[in-house]
Amino acid sequence: MVKSRSEVATIDTWDLTFLYNSFDLWQEDLSLFQKKEGNPLEKIQAFQGTLHLASENCLNCVKYILETGRRLYKLYTYAHLLHDQDVGDEKHKKAYNQVRNLAYKLSELTAWFEPELLQLPEKKLSDLLENPLLKEYKIYLERIIRLKPHTLSKEQEYLLSLAGKPLGSSSQTFSSFNNADLSFDQASDSAGNTHEVTHGSYHLHMESKDRTLRKDAFNSLHQGFKKFENTVTEMLQGQVNTHFFYARARKFKTCLEGALFSDQIDVNVYHSLIKTVKSRIKSMHKYVSLRKQILNVDKIHGYDMYVPCFREVSLRFSFEEAVELIIEAVKVLGPEYQEILRKGLTSQRWVDRYENHRKRSGAYSSGCYDSFPYILMNYQGTLSDVLTLAHEAGHSMHSFYSNKHQPYHYSGYTIFVAEVASTFNEELLFRLLMKKAKSEDEKIYLIGKRIDGIRGTLFRQTLFAEFELKIHELVEAGDPLTPQLLKSIYKQLNHEYYGPDFCSDDLIEYEFLRIPHFYSNFYVYQYATGISAALALVDQVVKENNPQKYLRFLSSGCKDFSLNLLKEAGVDMNTSGPVNILIDQFDDLLNQLKP
């Protein structure tokens, strides 16, 4: 049975004392932040109406906003990590909501800044950008100025800031429902034994050789969501409506344009990904047919997509063994990278390792400029878990290097480049595991695992991206999102992506209800672009045996736009080339496994 939080050993938890030695000290810092006399949120207001008077006013205002944001983000990081380790803990939930309210307040009280800045005459704006006093903030200001066509008046921006909290409720409601309130029936195996089904154990069941257990666990999880299909659909519709509201308010043509514009990513990058993958979807159909042949079943169901089927090899890894493998895998990135990561995964306790009752599901890397890059895991000891740890470690090292080499305002890299750093480490780990394989069966198993990884990261995430695009287009056209409509769209996409040998007639149509990434604004496509860029960069680093260009990329934060940073590192994501190269590798791996 899953442990309660109080039963988890300290060594298996993240060390949040690097942020605050105790919850009481966090509360003291929160109280100081909220103190009326010297309240940083109120001090920011003093700059309003003064930007036109002197460059020094603009400089001091920018510095004060950034310093306040940095201080608040430290408070937020501690609260959100405490919240996620047990989302049902009332004290931590209250703390999390308190600091979220402050974040909304900061947004509200700084809503005047960008409109006032952008109302300055063009000559004044040009002079500001060239002023030596503001040299350190030039790119920061250029990003704001680029948004001028989509920035509203002071009054309108203030209203948008007030709307932030209520418009964020759909995402927060889904998180609480999914991680704290939702539970699933137990699943039975072929021998009649029962097994607990949780978010953490579900993926373990999906890799079981016992098809009865896989099917029962699959049905248990999706039946759990099916019971609430109307409720969850309304949550999702609320989130899409939020994206639509912001896109319209900021005068973007579409939700997609609104989501991609700020980082200068053309919508054609998104559309090209879908088009390229769909043009080569026969590769995925071939994969499903091969899986059907090897498993010797009439149709491949959703519960047949994760069980290793190319060889019967049982690979299990303790957390400590996983760490050693990952450290060895990243050797090509140099001893400094290895040593930093080793300390992070061991003595510095970046990782909250195992599942506990009411812990947030899944895995992520998080943190702030003034903390370690913490990693949430629900580690079960499978090869998938080792790959996930390598993935999150890639994020964390990206954060470490960006924070080390960039000032606060350029340290926050975008998701578009983040998924490159994470899948880069996964690819290095796969290559090491292939070298260490002790038998032909193990090599075949690993090749199968790599194929499954590409299937899940490129093809599946592109399916998600197309679904996300379709539901936003429906809302843009004024069509309501209903459970039946969304199930129909999702079922059809599964049929298109997985082909005639995939059974899309079971509970797979309810899968969209459980995907938390749909509550982020056009997030999932970046997994697919990320793995495509990562493969190209790994090939380059290994071939040249020189990681310096890649390490510069990790150290760049957001000092330039994402596509420019990737191009400087050696890969052009404005073309379909990287995606096609990845599908070529997928085809080659499939051909190696043909019976």
Task: Give residue 593's pLDDT.
Answer: 82
Q: How far is CA 99 from CA 62, 79, 83, 266, 434, in A?
A: 22, 7, 12, 34, 46
Domain membership of residue 139 (yes or no) is: yes
Which SS3 state, helix, strand or coil, does residue 365 take?
A: strand
Task: Give residue 165's pLDDT.
Answer: 87
For 322-358, the DSSP string reads: HHHHHHHHGGGG-HHHHHHHHHHHTTT--EE-S--TT
Task: Give residue 595's pLDDT.
Answer: 62
Task: Give residue 299's pLDDT.
Answer: 94
In 3-state terms, the chain is what percent helix, strand and coil (to 5)?
70, 0, 30
Structure tokens at 89: 């803990």
Domain membership of residue 74 (yes or no) is: yes
Termini Cα distance of the chain: 40
Domain membership of residue 159 (yes or no) is: yes
Q: Say which CATH number the domain at 140 has.
A: 1.20.140.70
Separation CA 148–CA 476 (nearest Å): 23
Separation CA 11–CA 5 (nearest Å): 13
Which residues partner with 194 through β-bridges?
Answer: 188
User: In sequence order, which residues have a C-beta less than 8 Å from that of residue 544 and are 6 or more positions away?
Assistant: none
Separation CA 287–CA 587 (nearest Å): 9
User: In sequence order, which residues have a C-beta less than 8 Å from that of residue 320 and are 6 or more positions away?
Assistant: none
Number of domains in the chain: 1
Domain membership of residue 43 (yes or no) is: yes
Structure tokens at 396: 């964390």
Domain membership of residue 101 (yes or no) is: yes
Separation CA 132–CA 130 (nearest Å): 6
Structure tokens at 418: 């983040």
Structure tokens at 303: 């519960």
Domain membership of residue 552 (yes or no) is: no
What long-range pairs does 25-33 form, CB within 8 A, spacing at least 24?
A: 26/75, 26/78, 26/79, 26/95, 27/95, 29/74, 29/75, 30/75, 30/95, 30/98, 30/99, 30/102, 33/71, 33/72, 33/75, 33/102
Task: Give residue 451's pLDDT.
Answer: 93
Task: Give residue 105's pLDDT.
Answer: 87
CA angle 331, 362, 97 (to 5 degrees): 115
Separation CA 103–CA 96 (nearest Å): 11
Task: Give residue 478's pLDDT.
Answer: 97
User: In sequence order, which residues have a C-beta less than 8 Å from that of residue 181 and are 6 or more positions away?
Assistant: none
Task: Give residue 262's pLDDT.
Answer: 87
Domain membership of residue 568 (yes or no) is: no
Range of the domain at 139: 5-167
Q: Mark whether 392 is an active-site residue.
A: yes
In residues, how long is the chain?
595
Local structure of residue 36 (DSSP, 8 states): S
Q: What is the pLDDT along the chain (595 residues), one digit of tens a residue?
A: 789 999 999 999 999 999 999 999 999 999 988 875 566 777 788 899 999 989 999 999 999 999 999 999 999 999 999 999 999 999 999 999 999 999 988 888 899 999 999 999 999 999 999 999 999 999 999 999 999 999 999 899 999 989 988 999 999 999 999 988 999 999 999 999 999 999 889 988 999 999 999 999 999 999 999 999 999 999 999 999 999 999 999 999 999 999 999 888 999 999 999 999 999 999 999 999 999 999 999 999 999 999 988 777 888 999 999 999 999 999 999 999 999 999 999 999 999 999 999 999 889 999 999 999 999 999 999 999 999 999 999 999 999 999 999 999 999 999 899 989 999 999 999 999 999 999 998 999 899 889 999 999 999 999 999 999 999 999 999 999 999 999 999 999 999 999 999 997 789 999 999 999 999 999 999 999 999 999 999 999 999 999 999 999 999 999 999 999 999 999 999 999 999 999 999 999 999 887 6
Over the range 405-439, which residues count as b (16 or more CB within 10 Å of their CB) and which as e?
A: bbebbbbbbbbbbbbbbbbbbbbbbbbbbeeebee
Task: Give residue 37's pLDDT.
Answer: 55
Task: Give residue 36's pLDDT.
Answer: 59
Domain membership of residue 182 (yes or no) is: no
Pick the catalytic residue from 116, 157, 392, 427: 392
Q: Could you tell me the sign of the dihedral formed by the alpha carbons of 77, 78, 79, 85, in that order?
A: positive
